[in-house]
Chains A and B, each alone.
Chain A
Amino acid sequence: MNTHDLTYWLFGNLRWSDFPPKSDLIATGAASLVILGALGVVVLLTVTRRWRWLWSEWLTSLDHKKIGIMYIVIAFVMLARAVVEAALMRTQQAVAINAPGVVSPEHFAQLFTTHGSVMIFFMAMPFLSGIINYVMPLQIGARDLTFPFMNAVGLWLTGAGAALVMVSLVIGKFSIGGWSGYPPFTELPFSPGEGVDYWIWAVTLSSLGTTLTGINFAVTLYKERAPGMRLFRLPLFAWTSLCTAILMIFAMPPLTVATALLALDRYAGFHFFTNDLGGNMMNYANLFWLFGHPEVYILILPAFGIWSEVISTFSGKRLYGYKSMVFAVMCIAVLSFTVWLHHFFTMGQSANVNAVFGIATMLIGIPTGVKVYDWLLTMYGGRLRLTAPMLFAVTFLFCFVLGGLSGIILANPPVDFSVHNSLFLVAHFHNMLIPGTLFGMIAGYMFWFPKAFGFRLEETWGRIAWGCWSAGFLLAFLPLYMLGLFGMMRRTAETFRAEYAPWLWTAWGGAGLIVCGLGALIVQLIVSIRRREALAVPVGDPWDGHSLEWWTSSPPPEYNFAVLPKIEETEAFTAMKRRGRAYESPEDYADITMPKHTGLPVMIGAAGFVCAFALTWHIWWAAALGLLAMWGGVVARSFRSDFEHVIPAAQIERENEAWLARARATTPVDRFAELDPANRGKAVERQ
């Protein structure tokens, strides 16, 4: 064996030259930021002696609430990265008119690939998984998800995928094939490097994690509801969680199949999507969008749930048209599987096929319209409180309708032929995803933050964030509609039309405002932590809430509810408050069994990361080891039976009675004074 063979056997394709410094300054800067950020966290944890706390309280926890919060932490880290990338792309397009701009074309291609992949798979998905994880079990009166261990495995697989994308900034290069990874460009002859492999394995890890999570959410919603919590008594967010979970179960496998077949092509010389020997790119397009289209609704449905909760709470009204809302969600979930072909109207199928899918696409506007009217009618005649989450909701209603109309336009195949792959399309889907998903997630974060941490977020900075995000969104994306109609194509690193400049600079300004919006969110968090005593809401109901999650202390105990409630109607907590029975002591306490902490999910995630990283670089021994360790972790778990620990009834009684005593002793505040320091978590309707 010569040295070359030995190096390949040990390190695969990994070489010193794959490590920093990179060829250009911006890439080197980004790599340094990742390294410095990681080092900073390590130093901070060491100096504050928080390692043990982090491990035993958080990383090893199977508590759905902590897992939810960890998902959201991942989402925020990845959001910061992808927003910076977006700002860089806007800068490039603004300055690269008859000029090379600030980044190389290849680097620009990496930017739009990572921006899309990160925003979808590692920002939006963890964010919504996190919020559902935190809120849904509380809303249905459950103690935890049905499979807490699997929940943690899902989290750490997603974490492993996110880590792989972060590592690609430092070691080697990421794919330049776009977030959808279309072959034949992503096949070996056109993309021989490690980039596409990074993309394949990062996406595969997270999609496996999401499939597991979807199964868990669905089973929890079917099996763990509190006594009397019939399906038609579920809060709307729980309903949208159920439909999202069902979409995850059926829509993630097509993605796994698509990435697995692409991997077979690249690693084993198969011919699924190659140009030669019978491969066919259209097979990929079908598989990918069979995932990709329902994915759009995985992203939007939880946000619809959040809007329903936020709008009805801050309007001080019941949700208008509860049943029509539920049926609309179900219709949307079903229809989402019938429209995938509109993603390739221009790729050569017959006009009749295009017509059928065009009509199917437009049909989704009907249930979505029903929801918009229901939200408007919820506000109509309500007593609105324009808090930061509610402001986001109002912006959403305006912008989402605009984006929906552009969607109806695009659903028309002849129109699609002229504007597809232009910035019109980019404007359309950002118009849906930013006000729809991202604003929804931010509103949900602000709405439920006091539940999770026991103190409210500072309102002024929340409103500044709202202002920056809303104005930034409008400035950044409305010009893109115009640019698209003018003929500017997406993913363009350099243009030759000087008349694009004003529109591109406006969009650049919008991107700058969005960066400010992100900054405002960070400032809001820091300011709120500093003022947490003044903002504390320990009783747990700061907004005069409707559903069960508000009927427990903030933050809630590990077991959520000391005694599971009996549900007799929708808006269970409102009903309890109306009857004056919200803070009554239960007759009897019983022991509660909860899952024990375990480090195995972290280990399984780490093994998944090792396996994926090794596959990317063809380090076969490490890939095999990682895979074995993943399965070994699962098998090892199956040899234990002491998964649970019992919390004695006496302890539960002590904690619960203390909370109840505090709740009864707390002076209620009028819900219009909910932002006042006097609000200790007991907001009520004015008598």
Chain B
Amino acid sequence: MSDQQSLHAGVNIGRTDPEAHEEAGPVMFGFWVFLMSDLVLFALLLATYSAMSLHGIAGGPTPKDVTDLKSAGIETALLLASSFTFGMASLAQKYRDDRAPMVAWMVATALLGIAFLGFEARDFVKLAEEGHMPQRSGFLSAHFTLLGCHGLHVSAGLVWMAVLFVQMRVPGLERLVRLRIMRLALFWHMLDVVWIAILTFVFLYGAA
């Protein structure tokens, strides 16, 4: 089988053995299927949020009271930038034999991800200081749960990345690590997609 035929569609795994290309098909497809399942989770949390933001206020703060557009803007910029840097890491994996640029782009991704989580935590602390805790109303429960679930996914992605940083140095895992980086990339980009939905429904609608 020629190299061209066995390449996986989209951003693929680059210069490595044919066996790895063969293996990429089912594992990438499987991960797409998992992501569909995970998206159902976010869709339901968004639906819950939209119901609660209308009917679950209970005399407490409204979406307008808890929306900090400036902070949301910074968070969006950080997360989109991290998706860009991960894209660059994927391209480096595909086209460069040298591992250094790939690692550098992934480190940048991780730092941007950590900064995003930092801003999100700051938002949460600020809300808590104003007395807007999730126990206050159904709306705030939904607000914290939706954002928290996304934040938890970002954290999980960061832990995953940390494990991969270690594994890049473990001999004998190269093929597996390359496949895992491809899957982590999909996961990371999906979190961007979810964030855009959150930005729209939580922050832009909230501020309006």
Query: Could you list which residues of chain A lie within 8 angstroms of chain B, going by C-beta atoms?
Result: 146-147, 211, 214-216, 218-219, 222-224, 249-250, 252-254, 256-257, 261, 264-265, 268-272, 274, 276-280, 283, 287, 290, 635, 638-639, 641
Q: Return 16 A-B CB contacts under 8 Å, by A number.
A: A215-B37, A216-B30, A222-B29, A253-B37, A253-B40, A256-B41, A257-B41, A261-B145, A265-B141, A271-B56, A271-B135, A272-B48, A277-B60, A278-B57, A287-B48, A290-B44
Q: Is B196 an interface residue (CB 8 A)?
A: no
Q: Are A264 and B141 in contact (CB under 8 A)?
A: yes
Looking at B55, B60, B141, B180, which has the most chain A CB atoms within 10 Å of its CB? Answer: B141
Q: Which of B6-14, B66-74, B79-87, B170-178 contacts its partner?
A: B170-178
- CB-defined contacts of B58 to chain A, threshold 8 Å: 271, 276-278
Q: Is B51 an interface residue (CB 8 A)?
A: yes
Alpha-carbon separation in the docked complex, A270 to B52 (Å): 12
Q: Are A250 and B33 in contact (CB under 8 A)?
A: no
Alpha-carbon separation in the docked complex, A425 to B68 (Å): 50
Which B139-177 residues have C-beta < 8 A from chain A?
139, 141-142, 145, 163, 167, 170, 172-173, 175-176
Q: Are B25 and A272 in contact (CB under 8 A)?
A: no
Alpha-carbon separation in the docked complex, A618 to B3 (Å): 55
- CB-defined contacts of B37 to chain A, threshold 8 Å: 211, 214-215, 249-250, 252-253
Q: Is B36 an interface residue (CB 8 A)?
A: yes
Alpha-carbon separation in the docked complex, A215 to B180 (Å): 17
Q: Are A146 and B56 in contact (CB under 8 A)?
A: no
Number of interface residues of B (CB under 8 A): 39
The distance from the CB of B1 to the nearest CB of chain A, in whole angstroms, is: 14
Partner of A254, one of B44, B55, B180: B44
Query: Could you list which residues of chain B lie within 8 angstroms of chain A, going by C-beta atoms?
Result: 25-27, 29-30, 33-34, 36-38, 40-41, 44-45, 48, 51-52, 55-58, 60, 134-139, 141-142, 145, 163, 167, 170, 172-173, 175-176, 180
Q: Are A261 and B40 in contact (CB under 8 A)?
A: no
Q: Are B135 and A269 in contact (CB under 8 A)?
A: yes
Partner of A279, one of B38, B44, B56, B173: B56
Alpha-carbon separation in the docked complex, A256 to B145 (Å): 14
Alpha-carbon separation in the docked complex, A330 to B175 (Å): 37
- CB-defined contacts of B44 to chain A, threshold 8 Å: 253-254, 257, 287, 290
Q: Are B30 and A219 in contact (CB under 8 A)?
A: yes
Alpha-carbon separation in the docked complex, A250 to B173 (Å): 33
The distance from the CB of A606 to the nearest CB of chain B, in whole angstroms, is: 22
- CB-defined contacts of A215 to chain B, threshold 8 Å: 30, 33-34, 37
Looking at B26, B137, B138, B173, which has the most chain A CB atoms within 10 Å of its CB? Answer: B138
Q: Are B40 and A277 in contact (CB under 8 A)?
A: no
- CB-defined contacts of B142 to chain A, threshold 8 Å: 272
Q: Are A261 and B48 in contact (CB under 8 A)?
A: yes
The distance from the CB of A628 to the nearest CB of chain B, in whole angstroms, is: 12
Q: Are B41 and A270 in contact (CB under 8 A)?
A: no
Q: Are A280 and B138 in contact (CB under 8 A)?
A: yes
Alpha-carbon separation in the docked complex, A274 to B167 (Å): 46
- CB-defined contacts of A254 to chain B, threshold 8 Å: 40, 44
- CB-defined contacts of B172 to chain A, threshold 8 Å: 641
Q: Are B55 and A638 in contact (CB under 8 A)?
A: no
- CB-defined contacts of B25 to chain A, threshold 8 Å: 223
Alpha-carbon separation in the docked complex, A215 to B56 (Å): 35
